[in-house]
Structure 1
Amino acid sequence: MKRTVILNGNDNTIEDVVKVASGDFRCVLDENSMKRVKESREGFEKIADQVPIYGVTTGYGEMVHILIDREKETELQTNLVRSHCVAIGPRFSKFESRAIMVARLNALLKGYSAVRPEVLKQLALYLNEDIIPVIPEIGSLGASGDLGPLSHIAITLIGEGYVFNKEGNVIKTAEFLKEKGIKPLSLKFKEGLSLINGTSAMTGLGSIILDKAFQQVRQAELITALVLESQEASSSPFAQSGHDIARPHKGQSDCAKNMRTFISDSRLVVSHEKLRMELDKKGEKIDNAKSTEIFLQKAYSLRCIPQFIGAIRDSLYHTRNILEIEINASNDNPLFFENEEVFHGGNFHGQPIATVMDLSCIALTQLGIISERRLNRLLNRHLSNGLPEFLVKVNPGLNCGFAGAQYPATALVAENRTICNPASIQSVPSNGDNQDVVSMGLIAARNARRVLDNNWYILAVELLAGVQAIDIKECYSELSAVGKVVYNFTRSKVPTLNEDRYMSDDIEVIANALKSGKLLDLVANIGIEIL
């Protein structure tokens, strides 16, 4: 029997969204929240015939000045949904579509959208029975919410449009519902508007991205620690006082603590005290100036890791905070609050999400940049602490080693830089200039997803180079416990590069292995907690 996640519209988390989206957890609707939804609907129905309400007794958008007969409620709502099923292009995966559905369901559970409880029950039924709408990715301006993508969810509730079956094939909704014995809904006033007028596509997709982004950052730190060991770097840059006391940014302190944990038992990483003593010894008979070949400090990509990755972490922490507010927010229009004037506002506007998804996109681009720079140091014989050029194990010149493997990493860094140009500043007016400032939030989320996916390859090449360096130095026995886990994880899938071979498969295998998150599980199995 599947485990459950209780959705309540108040304190659900990104983890809750991802769990239900995975299909491994059923969603249960909180009783108190459903009571609030019912009461909201009943209160709204009492005033619907008495006062003009946008989208209930008026047209939509620029046509708000047109009054609509109350008897046309179903036709008005249905026409809205049908007319906005215009999204195009590649489809969101079932996993992503489920996340979008969870985000929309939870927003309606907040209880101020004034939809009938039956609408929420139908959404929950679809999730639990794996009836997943087919949602094209392109077409949202992120202003009056993700109107296009969400319409492709709403249309299935009335038995139209398309869904995925269990085999992942696309079929007509009507056929699937008939097979399941499920009756489609008939939309009542405001329900079409409430279903499509919100930020749930960018929020649902953003939740998946952020969950994976934290996994990526943690694995990047593990790979970094292995490279530090291969370079016999100093442990000094991670000393607690330098971060927790001197410059206590949360991300910086968390990253430094992780690095201290990872290298704590390494026999390759050296202390600053040891470096200083060696330098003192070599400098005893210096009259003027003399090179000692001892570097008290390494380059920034090996030394400023807490400051660099810490800033990435802080960006993601901020994004998580904004997303979790939005997961539990009423983000449609209008909203009903008992004994108050109907709220005609703009909670559907995606600017808060667009801005942080752009921020996450930039932060993840930086993660790829520093990974590629460490890779470069491993491959450059003038910078690699005694390693051969391009990590060629035997017959350099005859063999090229990792010379070619750097190219996709470098190319993807450049590609990421072109992708992370902010979408949230690309406003283009639409809807007869009613939507005259728009967020492009779903574009920002899709951009962040592209960078996230590219980074798995960059990190894979760095990891392969890092374990190759350990093999060349024959220093496996001196690795930290964490370093041995990372090394074994890699070598269980890809052998040492003894002579040149076809490497695309190696990179693909390791990129997919990192994406699975299994490395984090292996590290946890030896009792290591990663922040």
Structure 2
Amino acid sequence: MTQIIVQPTGVTPADVLAVARGDARVEIATETVTAMATSREIVDRIEASGRPVYGVSTGFGALANTSIAPERRAELQHALIRSHAAGIGAPMPREVVRAMMLLRLRSLALGRSGVRPRLAQGLADLLNHDITPWVPEHGSLGASGDLAPLAHCAIVLLGEGWVIGKDGARIAAAEALHRAGLEPLELAAKEGLALINGTDGMLGMLLLAIDDAEHLFAMADVTAALAIEAMLGSERPFLPELHEIRPHPGQSASAANILKLLQGSTIMDSHRDDLAHAVQDAYSMRCAPQVAGAARDTLDFVRTVAARELVSVVDNPVVLPDGRVESTGNFHGAPLGFAADFLAIAAAEVGAIAERRVDRLLDVTRNRQLPPFLSPDAGVNSGLMIAQYTAAGIVAENRRLASPASVDSLPTSGMQEDHVSMGWAATKKLRTVLDNLTSLLAVELISAVRGLQLREPLVPSAAGRAAIAALEPSAGRPGPDLFLAPALEEARSVVAGRALRAEIEDAIGPLR
């Protein structure tokens, strides 16, 4: 277990991954505590002055003009959390909730929210004691931030609500705090609002998706190269000089990967100078870098958006160093929603072109002398026929999921919040698209491996040999049909994991 220290400047994407997926311990720097305490002093002075300030001495949303008596302001903050913890549905994954809590802590640590340091420490305590709030999947519109999901986290600090037990069961938050030796918190003015008014859920999911997409786009180059090799494709479309004349950086990187992956193959050597060989391969082979490369460039854009959000103050109102408390719209998730929708479109197309290569590999009229459906005894046996059906169904689902969520605004809160981002929905469905992409690449991987096996005694590339070794224990050799689902599940694990990629890179050098 590692440790990350939350500074007044926030955290890094690597910090978020370490906490969300690596269970890193969270500590709060002394400078961060000082910044929060200074900000809190300003709120205390304003509250004492009696001046009306949104969220400090007034109600929320459409009730912003309702004045709250001083003796009821703490009650106001607790009521806010209870009323806004109004989500419904299955619980969000543990990694998403952990990312969300760290990011809310990060926002408080920037010293613009006017909360006591103990509030941030409360979130750190939940993370460090492995207490994961039960956050339902439905409830956020992405403005004002992820209100309901963050309220389900915040209510646990009060000793209320639910958490996810070790066995996945729902247990009372009070019981979980007691077991960990933690006491519920009492909120002061503005603190309830500061706990829920941010983009932390959608940003957390986006950061996790960026990490997944980065790996999957590299694996898409691997499976594409293996499929091209198995179909006796040409390596010439991937020569660097052909991509220098269209200088999209992602395209050049993807082409360089595929070219490198095809080296050292006697399968490729067998037809390189064959005049009867096709002059041009199909688009799904020849244009692989143009599609996967465009997805890489989209990912670069999304990474930039996430990096900006990581250093942003996403609260309302915010406490400025000169003593002013100003309302903002920084909680609006449009930047993240747009980015997630864009990346979902790109990832869906990476999967769609992979499915087209699978279909080509299985079709005896287009796969260049491989048997129908990659079965040596087609007829009695169906080979990988239905695996392609599965891939086609997933492509169709990804097409639906690629429809942008960020254009689906619905007004809420008595028309006070009359435009919302739907960023939570956009980032949530992006994760589904990437999970589906994992399955599509798994089908391409197992199809390419079977094609390479059927090219024996020709020897495949180093990447091909590594892939065959990884899949043969579950997928076997070409022959009679077998129960295919376990082999596909293992192929999914191979694509999602990092072991095959590491083995390939050890043999041929790093992929871009």
Please indicate the TM-score interval, normalised by the length of the shorter structure: over 0.9
Amino acid at match of 2:6: L
Please state how far the C-alpha of 1:165 moved relative to its aligned partner. Answer: 3.2
Q: 1:271 to 1:41 in 2, by over 3 A?
A: farther
For 1:103-142, what aligned pairs fall within 5 Å after superposition?
Answer: 103-142=103-142
For 1:270-289, what aligned pairs fall within 5 Å after superposition?
Answer: 274-275=272-273, 278-279=274-275
What is the aligned counterpart of 2:401 among 419, 431, 437? 419
Bigger drift between 85-94 and 15-24 goes to 15-24
Bigger drift between 514-523 and 347-356 goes to 514-523
What is the aligned counterpart of 1:357 among 340, 352, 356? 340
Amino acid at match of 2:180: K
Q: 1:318 to 1:9 in 2, by over 3 A?
A: farther
Long gaps (5+) in structure 2: none
Q: Report the counterpart of residue 19 of structure 2 in structure 1.
A: 20
Please state how far the C-alpha of 1:439 moved relative to its aligned partner. Answer: 0.7
Please state how far the C-alpha of 1:311 moved relative to its aligned partner. Answer: 0.7
Q: Report the counterpart of residue 7 of structure 1 in structure 2.
A: 6
Please state how far the C-alpha of 1:84 moved relative to its aligned partner. Answer: 0.6
Amino acid at match of 2:461: S
Q: Report the counterpart of residue 290 of structure 2 in structure 1.
A: 307
Q: Report the counterpart of residue 97 of structure 2 in structure 1.
A: 97
* Partner secondary structure for residue 447 of structure 1: helix
* Conserved 8 A contact 2:251-2:290: yes
> Percent identity, aligned pairs only?
38
Please state how far the C-alpha of 1:52 moved relative to its aligned partner. Answer: 2.0
What is the aligned counterpart of 1:392 among 354, 369, 375? 375
Please state how far the C-alpha of 1:519 moved relative to its aligned partner. Answer: 2.1
Q: Report the counterpart of residue 169 of structure 2 in structure 1.
A: 169
What is the aligned counterpart of 1:406 among 385, 388, 394? 388
Give the length in aligned residue pairs.
511
2:224 corresponds to 1:224: yes
For 1:270-349, what aligned pairs fall within 5 Å after superposition?
Answer: 274-275=272-273, 278-279=274-275, 293-339=276-322, 341-349=324-332
Q: Give the Cα–Cα distance (whole angstroms) in 2 for the partners of residues 11 and 334 of structure 1.
A: 19
Please state how far the C-alpha of 1:300 moved relative to its aligned partner. Answer: 1.1
* Partner secondary structure for residue 108 of structure 1: helix
For 1:45-60, what aligned pairs fall within 5 Å after superposition?
Answer: 45-50=44-49, 51-60=51-60
2:441 corresponds to 1:453: no
Please state how far the C-alpha of 1:9 moved relative to its aligned partner. Answer: 5.5
Q: What is the TM-score of this pair, normalised by structure 2? A: 0.95
1:346-403 C-alpha deviation (Å, 9 max, x unpaired)? 1111111111111111111111101100001101112112111111112x22222122
Amino acid at match of 2:39: S
For 1:235-254, what aligned pairs fall within 5 Å after superposition?
Answer: 235-243=235-243, 245-254=244-253
Q: Report the counterpart of residue 285 of structure 1 in structure 2.
A: none
Please state how far the C-alpha of 1:525 moved relative to its aligned partner. Answer: 4.0
Please state how far the C-alpha of 1:340 moved relative to its aligned partner. Answer: 5.5
Q: Give the Cα–Cα distance (whole angstroms) in 1 for the partners of residues 433 and 507 of structure 2.
A: 31
Please state how far the C-alpha of 1:11 moved relative to its aligned partner. Answer: 5.9
* Conserved 8 A contact 2:5-2:28: yes
Amino acid at match of 1:5: I
Amino acid at match of 2:495: L
Amino acid at match of 2:236: S
2:498 corresponds to 1:517: yes
Q: Give the Cα–Cα distance (whole angstroms) in 2 for the partners of residues 402 and 527 of structure 1.
A: 29
* Partner secondary structure for residue 268 of structure 2: coil
Amino acid at match of 1:338: P
1:474-517 C-alpha deviation (Å, 9 max, x unpaired)? 14x62222221122112233212411232122212211332233
Q: Report the counterpart of residue 208 of structure 2 in structure 1.
A: 208
Amino acid at match of 2:18: K
Please state how far the C-alpha of 1:336 moved relative to its aligned partner. Answer: 1.1
Q: Report the counterpart of residue 355 of structure 2 in structure 1.
A: 372
Long gaps (5+) in structure 1: 280-292
Q: What is the TM-score of this pair, normalised by structure 1? A: 0.92
Q: Give the Cα–Cα distance (whole angstroms) in 2 for the partners of residues 517 and 46 of structure 1.
A: 53
* Conserved 8 A contact 1:9-1:329: no
Amino acid at match of 2:131: I
Amino acid at match of 1:462: E
* Conserved 8 A contact 2:261-2:508: no
Q: Give the Cα–Cα distance (whole angstroms) in 2 for the partners of residues 490 and 409 of structure 1.
A: 18
Q: Report the counterpart of residue 286 of structure 1 in structure 2.
A: none
Please state how far the C-alpha of 1:271 moved relative to its aligned partner. Answer: 11
2:454 corresponds to 1:472: yes
* Conserved 8 A contact 2:10-2:107: no
* Partner secondary structure for residue 319 of structure 2: coil
What is the aligned counterpart of 1:503 among 484, 487, 498? 484
* Conserved 8 A contact 1:100-1:201: yes
Please state how far the C-alpha of 1:472 moved relative to its aligned partner. Answer: 1.2
